Chains A and B, each alone.
Chain A
Amino acid sequence: MRSMRRIAVWLLMASMLVAIAGCGSTNRSGDEPASGTQNSRAASETANQSSGGKSDEKIHLRFTYWGSTYEKEVISKAIERFVNDTGISVEGIHIPSEYETKLTTMIAANDAPDVGYLGPPMAYKWYEDGKLANIKELFMTDASSKEEDFIEGVIVRKGDDIVGLMNNLESYALFYNKDAFEEAGVELPPTKPEEAWTWEEFIEVAKKLTIDNNGRNALDPDFDPNNVRQYGFNMDIWSGPIEALLLRNGTQYFPGKGDTTGINTPAFNQVLQNVADLMNVHHVMPSRVTAKSMPAPAVALQSRRYAMVLDGQWVCNDFANIEGLNYGVGVIPKMTSTTAVYSGALGVIFSSSKHPEEAWQFLKYITDPEISLELFRDGLWMPNRKAYYTDEEKISLWASPGPARVEGYRDVLVDPIVNDSEVTSEVYVKNFGDINNILFPALDQAWTGKKTVDEVMAEIMPKLEPLLEGSIK
């Protein structure tokens, strides 16, 4: 009977071992492709062979993605079509929020998907950790896709390797309520970059469109900035739209993908101060607090809380579905330049996948405008392939006028991508997330008008400097 006591002790020991083994297994999974690119390439090669060896076995891919319920619907349909076309079974896992956290736990549990979306900063990190496959080989040996077919910044590299491909592009524009313009008797925003408003012209227009509860606009000396019925302008404040404006002043976090930062240069601070002044000096843009209680951009524009918004072109999908919104698209005003910015989520293949070739095939498939045309035509995505910006026939497939592609869309959003654009800093600036984490909370003080942007920047530069390590090459 003494053995009972021993058994109890053993049970406890065993349970602790289980716990320790739990930690150990994640460790081991990290071991495999540890020394990065070469190993992971080798791993994917052997995986190829093994998948070739048992080709009669049913291939099953797991694919993770985010997006609205609308996006989910279209992607699910595309998956179905892919399954029918190829006989490869694909399980789509839709993760609408906390995507990277969820994916991290999947990796920790040795349960990574085969293929999925991923934000660029995390993609670099996981590539370095050996969790993502180098898709260069797949890309190069694939006869149906050539590097030149894609828009310049779509292929995201690290050194000679390819980390991922942007599934789609996104860019920014000025969207406005036509009725608001008509009522105020103001000319509509230009659509051609060369005719873009200067910043001063833009402020003038925004003032005419900012109307208080007594019907006076912001140019009126009796204008009441505390009781505004319709704001002339609004934009969300995060790195995306801010970068769209930075490029309008010829700067970026690291201009030209270089190692000399644009942060805290006069051009950089000027852009931020211009935005702050829209709120505190010109009163044409709501304070951040007031903006919080405003409805979503589509509704706010429709209900005339705003006359213009600067937003990503994906809002076209919402705008097209709002009853009674007569909206137009215009080019973002320039300060010194009219360069556009584009970004996009990456499609990546995980190094643990046993079927990287099929995963690659799948990635190509769902991002092909001919397959999932709705995503493009209904406003959510812009294509990642060059031909859809240069070939008239292909352009008309997705960008010809329709509810989500209004008059002027092509001038404002399609042509600049091939004529004059830069890829977002997000895909090449080191410590991008950490930099924003310090920058944006501190800028709250500038948005409320308590401090100037120069003062804020001077305050945080000591904290930022160690993070400004240049661009990923």
Chain B
Amino acid sequence: MRQVAASGVRKGFRIGKETVYGYVMAAPAILGFFIFTLGPLIASLILSFTDYSITNDFRFIGVSNYKRLFSGEDSFFYKALSVTFYYVALAVPISLTAAFIMAMLLKNNVKGRAFFRSVFYLPSVVPVVATSTIFIWLLNPDIGLLNQILRFLHLPTSMWIYDEKTVIPTMAFMTVWTTGGTMLIFLAGLESIPEQYYEAVEIDGGRLWHKLTAVTLPMMTPTIFFNLIMGIITGFQSFSEAYIMTEGGPNNASLFYVLYLYREAFTHLRMGAACAIAWVLFVIIMILSALIFRSSRTWVYYEGDK
């Protein structure tokens, strides 16, 4: 053994006990990644070129799964895409703004700050299924609380999730309810801004608005950037709300992309097609993320950068 070790040293390798332990300790994570993430990832890429439906003896069919999507032969594909883009375009700015405002408010040294922080975070702890079920009742056009209040105030009521036009905006507004996690990250970002910057603004005669635009926003850009990326990714992957509340209706107006994928895979058992759909989503998210990353050079400010 010693000789082997010695020869290892001579050749420039030195794998000590620590390294071995390192590998062993990391093995579960590494194995987990290979077996449960990379393996299925590769498998799904391969399967997206087949007509796999779990029970059949699958054949390779080239790019016909993809062709079927892009040619519009599967009429749900473009519908699901437009629904999801619309949702992301609404939900991400709404929830980011709401989370940011909440974080700003909760940063102030008000009485019971810890209490309010917990309260605003609380909805994020509730499972989406429970939230959605509650919202089904709140949004019911006949007996729901929201319309009752509107009627009481003699304001026009809405069909909320039961109308093609209002279903997506309604769901986008629902995200405000569960934006506690984003808020927490903003809060952490706000806390890390050094007080002296604000003091400097005060000395220069700046007001609240100047503090916000000259200190808070620039200092927060890395956090906003992170939340934006995460928001877009989770937005594209939205599923439960539509699955539970509308089943994609009315008239497919809330057919989220992942719901469409799920239906293709588990209702129609067209696994090959579903894999192709998943890969298209993967590419879309990748491109969007890349674009945002690229744009970040122009608007994200890291301390210490020039």
Contact = CB atoms under 8 A, between A and B. Distances in A.
A108 B162 contact: no
A128 B53 CA distance: 12
Contact of A16 (B34, B53, B266): B34
A26 B54 contact: yes
A14 to B, nearest CB: 9
Contacts of A31: 57
Contacts of B143: 293
Interface stretch (B13-21, B202-210, B225-233, B298-306): B13-21
Contacts of B35: 15-16, 18-19
B19 A101 contact: no
Nearest to A442: B251
B50 to A, nearest CB: 10
Interface string A102-115: 00110110000000
Contacts of B34: 12, 15-16, 19
B140 to A, nearest CB: 5
Interface string B1-28: 1001100100001010001100100010
A445 B58 contact: no
Interface in A422-463: 433-434, 438, 441-442, 444-445, 448, 463
B43 A19 contact: yes
A20 interface: yes
Interface in A1-36: 1-5, 8, 11-12, 15-16, 18-20, 22-23, 26-27, 30-31, 34
A391 to B, nearest CB: 40
A289 interface: yes
Contacts of B40: 19
Contacts, number: 108
Contacts of A199: none
A352 B261 CA distance: 29
A15 B268 CA distance: 31
Contact of B55 (A8, A104, A293, A433): A104
B55 A4 contact: no
A438 B57 CA distance: 28
Interface residues of A, number: 49
B47 to A, nearest CB: 8
Interface string B208-252: 000000000000000000000000000000000000000011111
B190 interface: no
A2 B15 contact: yes
B281 interface: no
A4 B269 contact: no
Contacts of B142: 289-290, 293
A5 B31 contact: no
Contacts of A1: 1, 4-5, 8, 13, 15
Interface in A89-126: 98, 100-101, 104-105, 107-108, 122, 125-126
A67 to B, nearest CB: 20
A208 interface: no
A147 B269 CA distance: 33
B43 A293 contact: no
Nearest to A28: B57
Nearest to A226: B142
A128 B250 CA distance: 34
B71 interface: no
Contact of A289 (B13, B20, B73, B162): B162
A16 B159 contact: no
Interface string B277-298: 0000000000000000000000
B30 interface: yes
A129 interface: yes
A410 interface: no
B141 interface: yes
A441 B80 CA distance: 13
Given A16-B39, A444-B251, A289 B159 contact: yes
B56 interface: yes
Given A2-B13, A463-B75, A30 B31 contact: no
Nearest to B11: A2
Interface in B133-162: 140-143, 159, 162
A104 B27 CA distance: 32
Contact of B57 (A129, A288, A433): A129
Given A11-B27, A16-B34, A290-B142, A5 B15 contact: yes
B57 A131 contact: no
Contacts of A98: 266
Interface string A252-270: 0000000000000000000
B30 A4 contact: no
Contact of A433 (B23, B54, B162, B268): B268
Instruction: Please give me the 4 A-B residue pairs with the lowest Cβ-Cβ distance, nearest first.
Output: A19-B39, A30-B57, A129-B55, A444-B250
23 contacts: A1-B13, A1-B15, A5-B13, A11-B27, A11-B31, A15-B35, A16-B35, A19-B34, A20-B43, A23-B43, A98-B266, A107-B55, A108-B54, A108-B55, A125-B55, A125-B269, A126-B55, A129-B55, A129-B57, A288-B162, A289-B159, A444-B249, A463-B75
Given A18-B35, A19-B43, A104-B269, 18 more contacts: A1-B1, A2-B15, A4-B23, A5-B15, A8-B23, A11-B27, A12-B30, A12-B34, A22-B39, A30-B57, A30-B58, A100-B269, A105-B54, A129-B55, A288-B162, A433-B267, A441-B251, A445-B251
